Copies of this chain bind each other. A is one copy, B any other.
């Protein structure tokens, strides 16, 4: 078995309390006692049992990354992975432990966020993947454990939100299309009950209206953010003839853009020569597609990092709960053609 604090105490000829003080860098201990203890600890390869530690101290350096729907996603997507990388980056820099929990709508109903925290002695969590209709969406409000949601604005004394200005970003993206001479633009829309969908929709409409353009119903293709739905939708759209004169597809996510391009190619159309397509998210895969997709980079890794950072500050009482809006960046690549006037 591994050495315990008892073993170290015995070997160093002191009490466990003193070992604890030495290990945790308490000030009220003589330098030489501390050193002796540290030596013995190293000798015995002693590592404090963090479980016991968190049980007795009632707080822990343990935060969680909670992913809702991680396993349900039919579609593959590296959003979560980038988010993770950001969170872990921060955690490692600050010597925190992260536990990842996968939940879904059903398990949210069975066990509240607070319960999950108490169960695992977790100080707080970054939560991704919540839908407007999820149980957590409401229950988080009363949570005494701090948390940071991504891209979903949940109110509550202890809940922060990290997001982008999706409206502005999507407006920029739309404006870019318009600047390139596109006038009749089809919108490939995301899941209805997603906050980001509404925000991006606003952005699109805003840009369109500013330029005296409209978005007729028949130019909207509805999806749940699944690539396949975009493909089918666009294929139908082309067949219907609904897309007469349309020159560009404005997609609410990169995966939708990929699906759109797929359908276009299947129909013998070229991108961007025949149709222009833009995406949104900044997934790494958009650099490997053909053509490389013009998109808005959300800098998801940063988002993870900042979310973990904010969570940490909330736990430590450094910052209060707040909404954080991170910068985005229009990433111009090869999927848009400039149309001559």
Residues of A within 8 A of B (CB): 2, 45, 47-52, 54-55, 70-71, 76, 78, 80-82, 84-85, 88-89, 91-92, 97-102, 111-112, 114-115, 118-121, 258, 284-285, 288-290
Whether the pair A284, B76 counts as a contact (CB closer than 8 A) is yes
Whether the pair B97, A99 counts as a contact (CB closer than 8 A) is yes
Known: A52-B55, A55-B55. A85 touches B71 (CB 8 A): yes
Choose one: B50, B258, B285; the contact of A120 (CB below 8 Å). B50
Assembled-state Cα–Cα distance A101/B87 (Å): 12
Q: List 29 A-B contacts (CB under 8 A).
A: A47-B111, A47-B115, A47-B118, A49-B55, A49-B118, A49-B121, A50-B119, A50-B120, A51-B51, A51-B54, A51-B55, A51-B121, A52-B55, A55-B55, A70-B85, A71-B85, A71-B88, A71-B89, A71-B92, A76-B82, A84-B100, A88-B102, A91-B102, A97-B99, A97-B120, A98-B99, A99-B99, A99-B100, A285-B285
Assembled-state Cα–Cα distance A99/B71 (Å): 16
- Report B-chain residues with C-beta under 8 Å of the C-beta of A88: 70-71, 100, 102
Q: 5 closest A-B pairs (Cβ-Cβ)?
A: A290-B290, A2-B118, A76-B284, A51-B121, A99-B99
19 more CB-based (< 8 A) A-B contacts, given A52-B55, A91-B102, A100-B100: A45-B112, A47-B115, A47-B119, A49-B55, A51-B51, A51-B55, A55-B55, A70-B85, A71-B85, A71-B88, A71-B89, A76-B284, A81-B81, A88-B100, A88-B102, A97-B120, A99-B100, A258-B288, A289-B289
Residue of B nearest to A78 (CB): B78
Assembled-state Cα–Cα distance A105/B45 (Å): 19
Assembled-state Cα–Cα distance A97/B122 (Å): 13
Most chain B CB within 10 A, of A50, A99, A111, is at A99
- Report B-chain residues with C-beta under 8 Å of the C-beta of A112: 45
Assembled-state Cα–Cα distance A47/B82 (Å): 32
- Report B-chain residues with C-beta under 8 Å of the C-beta of A54: 51
Assembled-state Cα–Cα distance A94/B178 (Å): 52
- Report B-chain residues with C-beta under 8 Å of the C-beta of A115: 2, 45, 47
- Report B-chain residues with C-beta under 8 Å of the C-beta of A45: 112, 115
Assembled-state Cα–Cα distance A151/B271 (Å): 40
Distance to closest chain B CB from A317 (angstroms): 19
Assembled-state Cα–Cα distance A259/B243 (Å): 36
Residue of B nearest to A60 (CB): B51
Distance to closest chain B CB from A168 (angstroms): 27
- Report B-chain residues with C-beta under 8 Å of the C-beta of A102: 88, 91-92
Distance to closest chain B CB from A57 (angstroms): 11
Assembled-state Cα–Cα distance A170/B62 (Å): 42
Whether the pair B92, A48 counts as a contact (CB closer than 8 A) is no
Whether the pair B288, A114 counts as a contact (CB closer than 8 A) is no
Assembled-state Cα–Cα distance A121/B97 (Å): 13
Assembled-state Cα–Cα distance A258/B289 (Å): 10
Distance to closest chain B CB from A70 (angstroms): 7
